[in-house]
Amino acid sequence: MLMKTTLYRGLFAGLLFASISIVTSCSDDEKTVVPETLYTRLGGIEAISAVTDKFLANVVADNVINERFSATVADEFRLRLLRTNLIDQICAGAGGPCQYKGLTMMEAHDGMDISVAEFNALVGDLVAALDFYQVPTTEKNELLAVLGPLQSQIVGQ
């Protein structure tokens, strides 16, 4: 009888301890706030894909640089690869779950002798695409800051 009571007491104490542990572990005190990535704030892959398409359309219509892209977009497979590479590059740069698999910017633009004016026209087309989708200034500037340093690898190669 005494043994049975001791066993019940032990079991009760164990359950009480387990309950307290669960309740305290659920406390809000230790909740860590994970900051949202630029990728999430931009709206994920669908939004990035829409911005990329608008950007590409702007580039192909842009008289300053469209000749550079003419043959690439004329070929279905080259267009597909260019689009995928652009989406991956923006997505990865924004902290999204993508990996850029294309050539390095230096390799891709080797021998093309791209001028600063052409690079600026391209950036202008990207800004116009971001404005078209009303991307907030903070996110727009963060994205441009990620892509801006690529200028030295593209211009004058």
Q: Which residues bind another protein (CB under 8 A)?
A: 45, 49-50, 53-54, 56-58, 60-63, 66-85, 87-88, 91, 97-99, 101-103, 105, 108-109, 112, 114
Q: How far is the CB of 141 from another protein (least distance, A)?
A: 23
| Tokens of residue 150, six digits | 């690529």
Closer Cβ to another protein, 53 or 142, answer by number: 53
What phi, psi does 140 have (nearest 5°)?
A: -65, -45
Closer Cβ to another protein, 32 or 63, answer by number: 63
Closer Cβ to another protein, 118 or 142, answer by number: 118
What phi, psi does 101 have (nearest 5°)?
A: -110, 5
For residue 96, the Cα-to-chain-centroid distance in whole angstroms is 4
- Amino acid at residue number 132: F
Q: How far is the CB of 144 from another protein (least distance, A)?
A: 19
Closer Cβ to another protein, 15 or 103, answer by number: 103
Q: How far is the CB of 7 from another protein (least distance, A)?
A: 54
Closer Cβ to another protein, 139 or 154, answer by number: 154
Q: 19 CB contacts (<8 Å, ≥6 apart)?
A: none
